[in-house]
Amino acid sequence: MRLEGKVALITGGAHGVEGELMGFGGASARLFVQEGAKVVLGDIAVEDGGKTASQLRDAGHDALFVKLDVTNEQDWQNAIETTISNFGRLDIMVNNAGTGAPGDVEETTEDIWQSQMDVHAKGVFLGTKYAIPEMRKVGGGSIINISSIYGIVGSVGSTAYHAAKGAIRIFTKSAAVQYASENIRVNSVHPGFIATPLTRRGFDDPERQEFMLSRIPMGRIGDPYEIAKGIVYLASDESSYMTGSELVIDGGMTAQ
């Protein structure tokens, strides 16, 4: 029960339906409640989010869903208010919501660029901004921002995605330094190639899958729960001396 008594808000948390392919947020929610946390799932996928929260409640856990577009400041205010009104506090913020966008520099339109910056960089900024005052009230907390290995290294495509995930990485360090004295820890997680609802279409292409496997020393695609376990660690007091850090979970890909 490493998270007993703690309350967490997880964005991009809709895809946690039992028996279906999960996202990082949904897998994290399931591990969080097993460790004793109360969870609020935020997402724009209302049907899946409601179903995930309902399944968690049916299993005897404290969970609810709130519609949350992470690019919308009013949605953030509503999500925080819902969390506090239902559970009384906020200890853990997982900024996980994300989208993908292929394309090299010349193929990237201004709209694609802005969309990636809005969802990833702006979404993490707003989530952090609105979590901090509530964490201050309870003497601290843990903010976990989901970046990517593509926030650390480059590739032949996904230009806007790289830039936006890189923005998460350095924003995390800035916020960590600013709020360390208040016991508010801010860390980033950098997943490698993991099978999720977001990546499923690309991974179903045999040629692309072969290319990805050739780049991973461990020789396999990762599972969402392998990322969620790292998120649980950062959410728990086991990582109490860790802030401004990058937790890379990628099967050895960026070690090359």
Please give the positions annotated as active site: 161
- Helical ranges in 9-122 per DSSP H: 24-34, 46-58, 73-87, 110-116
Identity of the residue numbered 207: E
Query: Collapsing DSSP states into helix, strand and coil, what is residue 248?
Result: strand
The whole-angstrom separation of Cα 43 and Cα 139 is 27
For residues 234 and 203, the answer to whether their CB atoms sit within 8 Å is no
* Mutual angle of helices 123-137 and 73-87, in 10-degree steps: 30
Q: Which residues pair with 94 in a beta bridge?
A: 10, 144
Q: Report the C-alpha dihedral over residues 248, 226, 171, 178, rounded to 10 degrees.
A: -100
Question: DSSP states of 102-159 as a string?
Answer: ---TTT--HHHHHHHIIIIIIHHHHHHHHHHHHHHHTT-EEEEEE--GGGTS--SS-H
